[in-house]
Every structure is written in structure tokens, then in C-alpha cells.
A and B are shown apart, each in its own frame.
Chain A
Amino acid sequence: MSNEKPPKSWTKLEETGKGLTDHKLEEEMRQNPWRRPFRAGAPDIAKASLKRDFEVGLVYYVGDDVEQDRALCGLDRKPPTAHLFKDALEKKKVLLDEVGVVKRLGFDKKKGKFEY
């Protein structure tokens, strides 16, 4: 990583990732210096997009603003993706559980947060 300060939007994304984390690993390691160190399943910078992927099935939400833009371009307000077809999303959630993604990345589906 270059020494220059990262862009504000990048820092904001990383902060969002930290906000999505239940246990602050760095802080806990300081409080418990003898505990065996370990790496969190997902890096903070990726947590926001992972959460969206787990909850929506795609990396971006479709909100009112997107629906309006789509209508302006002559498209249906909602795309024919998992945003519209919730059954596809439910199936993906089963796969995420079955193959161990949710467990290994420490994602708490009820809280919508990562354990570490």
C-alpha cells in the first residue's frame, strides 16, 4: 500500500466494515496479550460488500434512486435479478450456509454483523 493517505471514500468503507464487527480484534488483543493471535475471516474493507452480497445476493442495493434512474432510461424499475426474484436469494443463502461461508467468515445473519 502506498504511503499516501487513502481516499476518504475508502476510509469510510473501512470504517463501515469496522462498524459491522462485533468484537474489535485489535482492542481485544491489547486487553488479552497472551491470547493466541488469529486473523479475522474477512478484512474490514470488504465487509460492507460481503454483507450486501449475503443479504441481497448482489453487491449493490436497488433503492428509490436506482429505480428512478432505470425508469428514466426506459427500463423496469426493478431488474430481473435476485432483487426481484427472492427465491434465488433464499437458495443462495442455503448454499452460503451449507458450504461454510457464513461460519468461516463469522457472519451473524440475525445481527447482520461479523463476529470478528
Chain B
Amino acid sequence: MSTVQPKDDKTASKEKYGYFLGCVMPVKMPWAEKATLLVSKHLGLDFDYMKETLCCIRPGVWRAIDPDWWLTLTSQNLASAEKQKITLVDSCNGCYISHYETLKELKEEPDKMAMVNKNLAKIGMNLSGTLKVRHFLEVLYEDVGIDKIRANIKRPLKLKITRHLGCHARDRGNSPMPRYFDEILKATGLEIIDTPYDLTCCGLLYYFSDPNSAIYQRAGKKIETAQGLGVDAFVIICSGCYDQFERTVKIMSAEKGVKLDVPIVHLSEVLALAFGYKPEDFGMEYCRPIPTTKLIEKLKEEK
């Protein structure tokens, strides 16, 4: 394990952050989970896991079936975060929108809050609605700040990338998150190549109803475009989207013989590398459908 000292070790914020892993991150993206913990501590955040977490639960599915189910089941996570006295931090856009919108709706509608608390009382829990729900991008940009991120860059990354932010990080009207994402990526030295598919959905929820369009016209189109441009990596932040990209890579390889070789990399990995951590510090080379070997070799050559 390399020891990289942060440039400014003052605590960025007194807030206590609880990282909500969700379903996909701990199972399919352990490298991103580890990199997120490294980066957060490196930046001086009081950042640790939120414990006892359950599925967020997916608003695209559950809210459509029964909004009261969605509000109640999501509130178990919110009440748990409140009890743990943490600010709930999501890096999966699906988890974020579920937590954020549930909390907003319950705070605006006392009748719904009463309904939820009546249900939560049956498991000995209660939600007051005082907790905060933040996206990891908001924590990085608003609480840490782009200047501090820049000050901690030890090894600027001379790489070309395409990126995918994901729908739910941009769908709150004038969400600043697309700007946060790009500014943080650029701060690490990366060159972002724009594509006509940057705003296209990954197709995750679409997969159940129309798998071919979800694979070949959504996620597949985006990764093939990245491959055609010859970029070094395809950078994402949302683990829900990653689930769909991973599925797409496997299906395109198995069913069409398409071999994709642009690795799908999480924002936290990019930051960890730029802060001077080595790929082996967070297991970058393990358990992914597109190996990162070529990218790691290129990083070694740049030294």
C-alpha cells in the first residue's frame, strides 16, 4: 500500500458522512468502493460506511407500482441514517434520486410523513426528516471544493476519455452536477472528448421491457463510440449505470462477438490515481469485464 499524503490535511467539513453502497457497488465494483474510501479520507472528510443498508429502493420500479410502498421502504434507509447521525451520501444516481425525492416528498407532505411513520413504528423506527441526502459529486465539489481537489493532484493524468454522468444526476432542472463532474475530471488532467451520445440513458430500467434496444441502442452505442474514438477510458460515477454497462459488454461479446477494450472506470479511481495512489491500492486490475491492463501500462509509461 502506498502512502500518499494529502496536500492540505485540514478537515474539509465537520459533517459526518455515511456512504450508502447500494446493491451494485459492493458486489460488482469493489475497486470503486475502495477508491471512494481512499479519496474521501485523503481529502480530509469524516467519511465512512453507512451501516445496515438495504436496496434504495429503485424509484423507476417501485414508485410506478405503488408510491406508498416506495416511500415506506425507502424511509427505512433514511430513518437508519438519521439514527446513525450521518449525512447520507450516494454515488449511484438511482439511490440518490430515491433518497432525495422521498425525503423531499415527505417533508412537503405531512400526511405522507405520518403514513410512513405509522409503518416505521411497526419496526421500532421513526423518521423526523432532519437528515441530509447528498450526491458524492456534491460532497466533492461543494464541501471539499475544486481548489482543494486541484491542490491534491500529484500526478496529472494525460489521458483521453469519454464520460457518462447518468440521467438522475442531471434531471433536477438546472442541476449543477454535469458541471461538477466535468470540472473534477478536468482537474485531474484528463481530456474529455464529447460525443453525440453523452446525454443518452444507459438503458438500465429499459432492459426489462426491451432488452435489445437497451443494450444495442443505449449502453452499447455509448461504449462503441468510446472505442471508435480510441479513448483510454470511459468514466462513470453511477453504479446503477455500471450494472447496465457491464451487462452490455458481456452480451455484446457473447452474442455478437464484439470485443470492447475501453475500460469502464469510476470517478473515484481517476481521483485516486491523480492523487498518487497506485492501481493496486484499490484493486483496479481485478474483477471487471474489460481489463484495465492497457490503461495501467500507459500510466506506468507516463512516469
Chain A contacts to B: CB under 8 angstroms:
1-2, 4, 6-10, 43, 45-46, 53, 57-62, 66, 69-70, 72-75, 79-83, 85, 87-89, 91-92, 94-96, 98-101, 104
Contacts and interface: CB of A to CB of B under 8 A. Distances in A.
A114 B251 CA distance: 28
A69 B30 contact: yes
Contact of B31 (A62, A73, A96): A73
Interface residues of B, number: 52
B68 interface: yes
A70 B61 CA distance: 29
A91 B250 contact: no
Given A74-B282, A81-B53, A6 B122 contact: no
A99 to B, nearest CB: 5
Nearest to B24: A60
Nearest to B287: A69
A80 B49 CA distance: 7
B123 A60 contact: no
Interface centre among A8, A62, A81 (most CB of B within 10 A): A81
Interface centre among B61, B211, B213 (most CB of A within 10 A): B211
Contacts of A46: 61, 208
Q: Which 9 A-B pairs have the closest CB atoms?
A: A73-B283, A79-B26, A73-B30, A59-B23, A88-B52, A91-B123, A85-B52, A10-B211, A69-B287
Contacts of B119: 95, 98-99
A70 B122 CA distance: 35
A36 B122 CA distance: 37
Given A70-B26, A73-B30, A7 B287 contact: no
27 contacts: A1-B209, A1-B210, A2-B210, A2-B213, A7-B211, A7-B215, A9-B254, A58-B22, A60-B24, A62-B26, A69-B30, A69-B283, A69-B286, A72-B283, A72-B287, A73-B287, A75-B26, A75-B33, A80-B52, A81-B52, A81-B53, A85-B51, A85-B52, A88-B54, A98-B122, A99-B119, A104-B66
Contacts of B251: 7, 9
A9 B250 contact: yes
Label chain B's interface by main secondary structure: helix
Contacts of B52: 80-82, 85, 87-88
Contacts of A61: 27
Given A7-B251, A91-B76, 6 more contacts: A2-B210, A7-B254, A8-B255, A60-B27, A69-B287, A74-B34
Contact of B207 (A10, A82, A101): A10
A6 to B, nearest CB: 5
Interface of B: 1, 21-24, 26-28, 30-31, 33-34, 49-55, 57, 61, 66, 68-69, 72-73, 76, 80, 119-120, 122-125, 207-213, 215, 247, 250-251, 254-255, 281-283, 286-287
Contacts of A98: 119, 122
A79 B22 CA distance: 10
A85 B84 CA distance: 14
B212 A43 contact: no
A90 B92 CA distance: 25
Interface centre among B68, B123, B210 (most CB of A within 10 A): B123
Contacts of B125: 91
